[in-house]
Structure 1
Amino acid sequence: MQAFLQEVGSTLAEDAPGLSVEALARQMNVAGGPTESPWPKNVGLLFFNDTPERFFPAVQIDVVWFPEGAGGDRFEEKIFKGPLARMTREALSYIQRNFLRETVIKHPDRAEATRVWNFPYAAIEEALVNAVYHRSYEEREPIEVRISNEELVILSFPGPDRSIRLEDFQAGRAVSRRYRNRRIGEFLKELDLTEGRSTGIPKILKVMAANGSPAPLFESDEDRLSFVIRLPCHPLARPVPPKVTGEVAPEVTPEVAPEVVRVVLALQEELSRTGLQQALDLKDEKHFRKAYLLPALASGLVEMTRPETPRSSKQRYRRTRLGQRWLETHQGNSAY
């Protein structure tokens, strides 16, 4: 408790060494009960007990690596336990050291290289802290982080409050009318692990867009029994077999589907969704979105002009710098 007070810069830190454990816990509001029979509050056991899993089974974070993908036969697992703040930080540090990598794409016509991360750390931090904050500590299920070359998935139980619509998550405007584990949120906020103002989801969307990554996905079931956050790997950061050619080209070249090529070619200027659909001469909006627009955004060659508000009436689509570079490289290719 004293270490926590010192870290957050509390004025109580100066008086803490002279207080008994009970007195300090009462001052921090992590203990209650009558003087003759004090008892720890749940938030105190979760943050200031070395083995909170004794009181709340499955208080842990399981990080699972699938080198062959989620459907493969091999996986590696590491389990993190302990007080919530320490457990969360250790899991984040482990993920950052072992699974995050930056891809540098050099261009023959300019000194500036393009740099992208397979998974931006800030998005992972927000997603994992969100799970620690909002999971139920009555559930006997751990938080699970599943990592493959294709995506990083964070699973927690239960799902979001029913007052929040899933489409609001995708739009970045999810605001809960009720906060689960408000005291946990207060401690996480003091440790600068969360802001506690429904800013986590918008930040995940913003960070993923800034990295040029495909948009994250937020999933739950009808009964809100679980919550899944999927962070897709940046297309240019996925492991690809080396190609030997006689031409000077960027070190990483994405494979581009014909539908995505059509989108890139059509974006001679910024276009609205309707304008882009008309430019492609496509009648079915659902087919256009599923087969053309979403794959184009996922490829990293096309981006939104307003990624923080995907459903904005002023939303437009344009080529990214990578998209423009790809077009210049392949424009003379008869296959396109």
Structure 2
Amino acid sequence: MITKEEVRALLQSTETYRIERTTSTGDMDKFQEAICAFANDLPNSRKKGYLILGAYDNGTLSGLKVTDALLKKIAAIRSDGNILPLPIMSVERFEYEDGDLLVAEVSPSLVPPVRYRGRTFVRVGPRRDIATEAEERILFERRTSYMATFDATPCFGATIKDIDTDYIKREYLPQIIDHEVLESDSRDVKEQLASIHLYDLQHECPTNAAIILFGRDPQYFLHGCYVQYVHFAGKDRGSEIINERQIKGCLSKMLPQLESFVRDAVVTSRPIPISMLREKDIFNYPDKALRELLMNACMHRDYQSNMPIRFYQYEDRIEILNAGGLYGEARPENFPMVNDYRNPIVAEAMRGLKYVNMFNRGIQRVKTLLQENGNPEPIFNVDKITAFEVVVKPSLSLNLVTNDEKVTKSVTKLNETLNDILDFCSTPRSMTEIMGRLGLKHRYNVKHRYIDPLIESGHLEMTIPDKPNSRSQKYKRALT
């Protein structure tokens, strides 16, 4: 991060393409446009850009007091999802005698063009504006020279006819590009696709990302590009197969099929009685957790491998295995706190299609959903070099259904108590009389556990319904 002395010198610098000074603290659009422009680094200076809050254009300080709330507000720009790909930036507060400065330091992106809400902003000298087609092409060519990920490389042998351009123009582009920009874009379809990394103009063919996301027959070019589901009757692969299915197609068509399949064929529920009046559905697996794990598998897998994503269901667990171990900065010792993208174009497109959020919250979300459903914590096998595996076990609550002797006894006793109360209240009774009948002393527990459920279900009525807390309140059995 820049030092305090360097900030002072920077305020007087003539390198205006690297600096934006402002006295405003609330114009978030302006701040995010500036960060987007610095990340794009159109002059290719390879130097960091600086958004400085608390300074006038002449370099003098405005007397701003930088609070922790303001610091957090500006720092949150990095990961709020409005700027994609996510910028590399840091935020710091500097205190001087004549006021504070808040400095956001932005590094040039290695994967330009960077967009803020679908628009590409650039900076040339003091000007900050939306990039022209020529400027955006420069940024795209620079990205191609920087990137070497598989999804960005050309899919040799494929042509424009091998991808569903109608779907891209009708469904995908409107979700990631601003409407006004899209309306004014007069480029042909190949140049449009090249600007979002789906077509290689130099080699005149779609990229691997285009085939993975929107290909008409992606398995023709990438043989392992599908999900293999197998449901085994027992606890290992030697047991009888109950169900088997291959879910194929490009991701834009396969992902909604996968969501439906999980809900309809994998997730099941069974009711258990919790009282005479109510039942509760117990799910074997929360569908949103399985969906999150499968989306992550599709996003992070190694598409150069011929092994499909394996989605295997056993009697006592589900295993999801996909080719490709942890990638880039993500390692066993920092998982899941650090994330990296093997397929950044695929990941960005899946976010545009609303299947992932790219906030690095997926693993924690899965754990939370499983915990809420009563499932044990998932097991992530991150030690495999060429594969990533996660194991999820069924809800522990299902044990109450399959081995429910204690539950049955508890529910039976509860039902007997509720029926006794209803019989006793054939004549209006006070709470004190009901407590005496049951031999219980805790008024709140009796009301919460027995009286309130009977009233809510319509089995019991208050004699003074307009004053539920009246000392004269009594309870009687409902006539219907």
Bin of the TM-score, shorter chain as denominator length: 0.5 to 0.7
Q: Which residue of 2 aligns with 1:231?
A: 392
Q: 1:28 to 1:161 in 2, by over 3 A?
A: closer
> Partner amino acid for 1:118?
N
Q: Which residue of 1 aligns with 2:362?
A: 200
* 5+ long unaligned stretches in structure 2: 1-167, 413-448, 450-480
Q: 1:16 and 1:65 mapped to 2: Cα distance? A: 50
Aligned counterpart for 2:201 among listed residues 20, 33, 38: 33
Which 10-residue stretch deviates more, 93-102 or 3-12?
Answer: 3-12
Which 10-residue stretch deviates more, 124-133 or 4-13?
Answer: 4-13
Q: Which residue of 1 aligns with 2:109?
A: none
Structure 2 residue 214 is matched with structure 1 residue 51: no
Q: Which residue of 2 aligns with 1:104?
A: 271
- Whichever of the two has the greater Rg, that structure is 2
Q: Which residue of 1 aligns with 2:323?
A: 157
Give CA deviations for 1:267-325 in whole Å, capped at 9, x if unaligned: xxxxxxxxxxxxxxxxxxxxxxxxxxxxxxxxxxxxxxxxxxxxxxxxxxxxxxxxxx9
Q: 1:14 to 1:216 in 2, by over 3 A?
A: same
Report if the CA contact (8 A) 2:273-2:280 is conserved: yes
Query: SS at the partner of 1:95?
Result: helix
Structure 2 residue 341 is matched with structure 1 residue 175: no
Report if the CA contact (8 A) 2:172-2:352 is conserved: no
Report if the CA contact (8 A) 1:166-1:219 is conserved: no
Q: 1:248 and 1:98 mapped to 2: Cα distance? A: 32
Q: 2:349 and 2:321 mapped to 1: Cα distance? A: 22
Q: Which residue of 1 aligns with 2:112?
A: none
> Partner amino acid for 2:250?
P
Q: 1:112 to 1:226 in 2, by over 3 A?
A: same
Aligned counterpart for 2:252 among listed residues 76, 80, 85: 85
> Partner amino acid for 1:229?
V
Q: 1:93 and 1:153 mapped to 2: Cα distance? A: 19
Q: 1:50 to 1:16 in 2, by over 3 A?
A: farther
> Partner amino acid for 1:200?
G
Q: 1:244 to 1:116 in 2, by over 3 A?
A: closer
Q: Which residue of 1 aligns with 2:382?
A: 220
Structure 2 residue 352 is matched with structure 1 residue 190: yes
Q: 1:79 and 1:165 mapped to 2: Cα distance? A: 31
- Percentage of matched positions with identical amino acids: 21
Q: 1:89 to 1:115 in 2, by over 3 A?
A: same
Q: 1:159 to 1:193 in 2, by over 3 A?
A: same
Q: 1:167 to 1:104 in 2, by over 3 A?
A: farther
Structure 2 residue 285 is matched with structure 1 residue 124: no
> Partner amino acid for 1:175?
V
Query: SS at the partner of 1:139?
Result: coil
Query: SS at the partner of 1:228?
Result: strand
After TM superposition, give the deviation of residue 79 of structure 1 in Å. 0.5
Report if the CA contact (8 A) 2:176-2:352 is conserved: no
Q: 1:162 and 1:16 mapped to 2: Cα distance? A: 38
* 5+ long unaligned stretches in structure 1: 252-324, 326-336
> Partner amino acid for 1:94?
F
Report if the CA contact (8 A) 1:61-1:143 is conserved: yes
Give CA deviations for 1:16-75 in whole Å, capped at 9, x if unaligned: 9986432432343311224xx522111111112111112212100011111334341334
Q: 1:24 to 1:122 in 2, by over 3 A?
A: same
Q: 2:184 and 2:247 mapped to 1: Cα distance? A: 29
After TM superposition, give the deviation of residue 235 of structure 1 in Å. 2.3
Name the TM-score, length of structure 2 as normaliser: 0.46
Query: SS at the partner of 1:87?
Result: helix
Report if the CA contact (8 A) 1:66-1:146 is conserved: yes
Q: 2:347 and 2:357 mapped to 1: Cα distance? A: 8
Report if the CA contact (8 A) 1:2-1:17 is conserved: no
Report if the CA contact (8 A) 2:271-2:281 is conserved: yes
Q: 2:354 and 2:312 mapped to 1: Cα distance? A: 25
After TM superposition, give the deviation of residue 162 of structure 1 in Å. 7.0
Query: SS at the partner of 1:53?
Result: helix
Q: 1:143 and 1:77 mapped to 2: Cα distance? A: 14
Q: CA RMSD in A?
A: 3.2
After TM superposition, give the deviation of residue 88 of structure 1 in Å. 2.2
Q: Which residue of 2 aligns with 1:94?
A: 261
> Partner amino acid for 2:224?
A
> Partner amino acid for 1:147?
Q
Q: Which residue of 2 aligns with 1:320?
A: none
Structure 2 residue 301 is matched with structure 1 residue 135: yes
Report if the CA contact (8 A) 1:166-1:218 is conserved: no
Report if the CA contact (8 A) 1:62-1:78 is conserved: yes
Q: How many residue pairs get matched?
A: 244
Query: SS at the partner of 2:241?
Result: coil
After TM superposition, give the deviation of residue 185 of structure 1 in Å. 0.7
Q: 1:16 and 1:121 mapped to 2: Cα distance? A: 41
